[in-house]
Amino acid sequence: MIIGGLAFLWLFQESFTTLVRDWWNDPEAGHGLLLGPLAGYLIWKSGLADERKPQPALGLTILVAAVLLRLASALAAELFTMRLSLLGAGVGLIVWAWGARQVWRWWLPLTLLALSIPLPAVVLSTLAFPLQLKASQMGAALLEWRDVPVLLQGNIIRLPGQSLFVTEACSGLRSLTALVALGVLMGGLWLKHPASRLVLLAVTIPIAMVVNGCRVFLTGFLVFLVDPALGEGFMHYTEGWGLFVVALGFVGAVTWGLSAVEGVVASRRPTPTGLD
């Protein structure tokens, strides 16, 4: 086990160090600074399963596949698959030492670790542009609803004497990624049924999109009626953080509601009775 751990550190240390570097330096990956330590804490808190049983053959197979993926990603200089190979090798070591049941016991922290791996730039750009357009459309529609004169041209909202550019950073992808991870965390901690967790995850995505559209509307509203300087700088970022907290509150409320529904369903299940 010690030799395997040392080999793991030697082969995957670059994957780990570059991942932590991106957590620290890349705003799109900053949620990893929370998810990484949190996953470690959840692993420690869950501990080892009583029914664990080493599966060396399966674990070695997963390890070999992870090493091959690591070598291929190094040749292609592709960071995403390199980091996936790091997670895959970790799973292989767990299966080799304690079996697949232990992986299932740690499904939540392992999922959080997977979500902390930044997506490739090409995927982020592909996802960000439709979100930019959707946020622009929602923001413009809300401004029109409040009788603000507005002309929408793609991701540009034109107001009298002022234009708002809904950039990639304002697409809401960053908050969407963070909310999805937090939705997985809340579902794993407070919901019991997989169906409830899937519902929560499905609801989290439109919540993030709607709140980001409201952010664009609020920015345009303040720029038009109060001060154009409110569309950038400290106030703009503060507004984003505030609305993220609002979105997180909605996700928490949905989690509470689903938990209450689970409790009602569980209480209505017939209780088995013994035979006389």
Shared domain for 113 and 127, answered yes or no, is no
Residues in the chain: 276
272 assigned to some structural domain: no
Q: Say what percent of the chain tops pLDDT 70.
A: 89
Task: Please report which residue ranges of 117-232 form alpha helices under DSSP H.
Answer: 121-145, 173-190, 194-225
Q: What are phi and psi of 78, to 5 degrees?
A: -115, 115
pTM as predicted = 0.83
Residue 26 clears pLDDT 70, i.e. is over it? yes
- Angle, in degrees to the nearest 10, between helices 194-225 and 121-145: 60
Tokens of 10: 């030697």
Domains of the chain: total:
2
Task: Measure Cα distances from 71 to 3, 4, 153 in Å.
Answer: 20, 17, 46
273 assigned to some structural domain: no
Q: What tens digit of pLDDT does each residue of 204-226 get?
A: 999 999 988 888 888 888 877 77
Strand ranges for 46-161 from DSSP E? 151-153, 156-159
Return d(Cα 172, Cα 211) in angstroms, integer.
9
Decide which of 118, 152, 179 is a domain's last residue.
Answer: 118
Q: In what order do the strands lie in the sheet with 156-159?
A: 151-153, 156-159, 162-165
Q: Domain containing 228: what range? A: 122-266
Supply the pLDDT for residue 276.
43
Shared domain for 171 and 101, answered yes or no, is no
The answer to whether residues 204 and 180 touch, using CB atoms and an 8 Å cutoff, is yes
Shared domain for 37 and 94, answered yes or no, is yes
Instruction: Kindly state the average pLDDT of the residues 194-211.
Output: 92
Tokens of 156: 């540009």
Shared domain for 138 and 254, answered yes or no, is yes
